[in-house]
A and B are shown apart, each in its own frame.
Chain A
Amino acid sequence: MSFEPSESATDAREGLLTSQLLGSATAVLRFCLVTVATFLGLLAITFFVGRVVPIDPVLAVVGDRASNEVYNAARQAMGLDRPLVIQFFSYVGDVFTGNLGMSISTGRPVAEDLARFFPATLEMATIGILIGVLLGVPMGVLAATRQGSWIDQLIRVLGLLGYSVPAFWLGLVGLAVFYAGLGWVAGPGRIDIFYDGIVEPVTGLYLIDSLVAGEWDIFWNALDHLMLPASILGFFSLAYIGRMTRSFMLDQLGHEYVTTARVKGVPERRVIWRHAFYPIRIQLITVIGLSYAALLEGSVMIETVFSWPGIGNYLTNALLNADMNAVLGATLVIGAVFILINKISDVLYRILDPRARK
């Protein structure tokens, strides 16, 4: 019993089809332009901030005992003697051709490094956010509908813990209990050493790559390694998402249209999910998008505790080694992820909220 825009309205719309198509083409074009402009802004900020910080990338390469001639030659070779604006434009050009420069700490192209490190974070963050959403949202809804019950208390305690417990502590305790103590999960690292390098990296996501290759042993082993760190990330996003869902729902349940639904005699479950939960999906997308983006930034603590070769680790090492190309490259990836997630949220808003459609 769906009441889509009615037939007569559709007829009227068909007459306007050409102009509509034109309109949506403009909308898509504008969407792309805005995205590109945002990305350029991101490039500019990372680039100039990278040049302003008191780290001398030349010194990082040649060492502090190099003679002046060597220093200058290296400076010239790296193109750092040119005016900043010129450097920026050549940097933008490089980025758009996929060239992020060489990393001085790993000795490989930064783009290649990122292609290895980012999927590790992506895999962990995705499982983490799935746990956070699949458990956090229903728990938040339950807590709001049964205010004061045990599930409500649980959500509040979890929310508090999520705020106050440090990630590295939880990681260490998790390892001590579930790996060393109970032996339920595998230890640090992405995969056992004897499985390493067997599967051809296609996506860089071990779970998917091993499935594609049909290597079930490797799949289970990778999952074994992933479970604990991903659950810990999942716990933090669960705490946050659950708390937010709870407060959004409490707000919703006070709305008049929820009472309207009850007046109509609608069963309570439908009142909660169809009438109160539907409208908050829009707010939840923001919350979920932001926490996913935060997870994709790479949790340095968790990645360190679990020897996880992710982007948080990579970025931290690069920073400590004054590896500017790697820092810029990793920052760029993280920034691009934020832009992408924001854009996806925007599109979802428009799908879910009739008021946001034009």
Chain B
Amino acid sequence: MSTPLLEIDGLTVTFPTARGPVDVVKGISFTLGRERLGIVGESGSGKSMTGRSILRLIRKPGKVTARRMTFDGVDLLSLSERQMRDLRGARISMVMQDPKFSLNPVMTVGEQIAEALVTHKKLPRRELKERVLAMLEAVRINDPSRVAGLYPHEVSGGMGQRIMIAMMLIPEPDLLIADEPTSALDVSVQAQVLDIIDDLVTGKGMGLILISHDLNLVSRYCDRILVMNSGEIVEQCKASDLHNAQHPYTRGLIAAMPRMNEDRDELPVLDRSTWTTGAGT
């Protein structure tokens, strides 16, 4: 890990509200190499906002500020919108949560995947088609030429998410952000989808940020874990060291997970008073 792929220092995401600005991400810092980083936290902890602010896709009136935010030596905050667009998809990509909503309903699957590629690279039609079909095959879709002609409503959720992955990986980015990629999926296909992401990401030596609320899943698929709570990173550790976590929030989360041979009558509930200092949230 010579120079990190992504360096973030003091990232803050702010939304104005009627009662003054609210920071949903509060000055977090972390670095990422060509490794798999998991970000866990409950709803509203700011983990998705962190992912989106790396792509600078926080919708107005949200505001992103940081002391430093560099990707592969490029300062993301000083790029023009146009330069940022050249980066999106081509070098940093994001798999979104629910393929039911994240795939365009009136474009065929093949068109949408092809678009991700031609946006950054002009290719002859034949080659483009071959690349799309090869990519579909890489995400383990049988009969890719048939699937390429389908519309999103004609495919299942698991297949939709594999299509999403194909679309995001076809320009061969260096960093993939997977924002709850399996939360909308059936448990039985979750592992399948994550295995595909894992294979492709490690195979190509990309960086991965896996955003999830599922501690188990993140510890299984990631090298390192960040635990976020109300906009702050409360714990950073190796995935293998998760059981030694220090912060009461992380320990509470781990304790609240049911085990296979459960002998507790009731699962413990988080006691937030141990780490929240101020009142309010």
1-60 of chain B: CB within 8 A of chain A: 55, 57
Check if A263 sits within 8 Å of B106, measured CB to CB: no
A65 at the interface (CB under 8 A from B): no
B190 at the interface (CB under 8 A from A): no
A9 at the interface (CB under 8 A from B): yes
Contact partner of A260 (CB less than 8 A), chosen from B86, B102, B148, is: B102
Question: What does the 1/0 interface line of B111-125 toward A look like (CB < 8 Å)?
Answer: 100111011100001
Interface size on B, residues (CB 8 A): 44
Please name all residues of chain A whose beta carbon is closer than 8 Å to the beta carbon of B116 when the two chains form the complex. 264-265
Question: What does the 1/0 interface line of A325-358 toward B look like (CB < 8 Å)?
Answer: 0000000000000000000000000001111000
Please name all residues of chain B whose beta carbon is closer than 8 Å to the beta carbon of A353 when the two chains form the complex. 106
A174 at the interface (CB under 8 A from B): no
Check if A256 sits within 8 Å of B102, measured CB to CB: yes
With A278-B107, A355-B153 as known contacts, state yes or no: A257 contacts B101, CB within 8 Å: yes
B222 at the interface (CB under 8 A from A): no
With A8-B146, A257-B103, A355-B105 as known contacts, state yes or no: A265 contacts B120, CB within 8 Å: yes
Please name all residues of chain B whose beta carbon is closer than 8 Å to the beta carbon of A263 when the two chains form the complex. 55, 57, 88-89, 93-94, 96, 168
Check if B105 sits within 8 Å of A257, measured CB to CB: yes
Question: What does the 1/0 interface line of B139-168 toward A look like (CB < 8 Å)?
Answer: 000010110110101000000000010011
A262 at the interface (CB under 8 A from B): yes
A133 to B88 CA separation, bound complex (whole angstroms): 34
B207 at the interface (CB under 8 A from A): no
Please name all residues of chain A whose beta carbon is closer than 8 Å to the beta carbon of B115 when the two chains form the complex. 261, 264, 266
Q: How far apart are B250's CB and chain A's nearest CB, in angstroms?
A: 30
Please name all residues of chain B whose beta carbon is closer than 8 Å to the beta carbon of A6 when the two chains form the complex. 145-146, 148-149
A240 to B148 CA separation, bound complex (whole angstroms): 38
Interface size on A, residues (CB 8 A): 30
With A260-B103, A278-B107, A354-B106 as known contacts, state yes or no: A265 contacts B90, CB within 8 Å: yes
Check if A354 sits within 8 Å of B145, measured CB to CB: no
Contact partner of A259 (CB less than 8 A), chosen from B57, B107, B145, is: B57
Closest chain A residue, CB of each to CB of B85:
A265
Check if A354 sits within 8 Å of B102, measured CB to CB: no
Closest chain B residue, CB of each to CB of A253:
B59
B192 at the interface (CB under 8 A from A): no
Please name all residues of chain A whose beta carbon is closer than 8 Å to the beta carbon of B148 when the two chains form the complex. 3, 6
Closest chain B residue, CB of each to CB of A357:
B151
Most B C-beta atoms less than 10 A away, residue of A2, A3, A7, A8: A3
Check if A9 sits within 8 Å of B153, measured CB to CB: no
B65 at the interface (CB under 8 A from A): no
A235 to B47 CA separation, bound complex (whole angstroms): 48
Please name all residues of chain A whose beta carbon is closer than 8 Å to the beta carbon of B89 when the two chains form the complex. 263-266
A8 to B102 CA separation, bound complex (whole angstroms): 27
Please name all residues of chain B whose beta carbon is closer than 8 Å to the beta carbon of A278 when the two chains form the complex. 104, 106-107
State the B residues within 8 Å of A (CB). Answer: 55, 57, 85-90, 93-94, 96-98, 101-111, 114-116, 118-120, 125, 128-129, 132, 143, 145-146, 148-149, 151, 153, 164, 167-168
6 pairs from A and B in contact (CB 8 Å cutoff): A260-B103, A260-B167, A263-B55, A263-B94, A265-B89, A354-B153
Given A3-B108, A260-B96, A264-B168, output 11 extra A-B contacts at Cβ < 8 Å: A1-B111, A9-B146, A257-B102, A259-B57, A260-B102, A261-B115, A263-B94, A265-B120, A268-B85, A352-B106, A353-B106
In the A-B complex, the 6 residue pairs with the smallest Cβ-Cβ separation, listed nearest first, are A3-B110, A265-B89, A265-B88, A5-B149, A256-B101, A264-B89
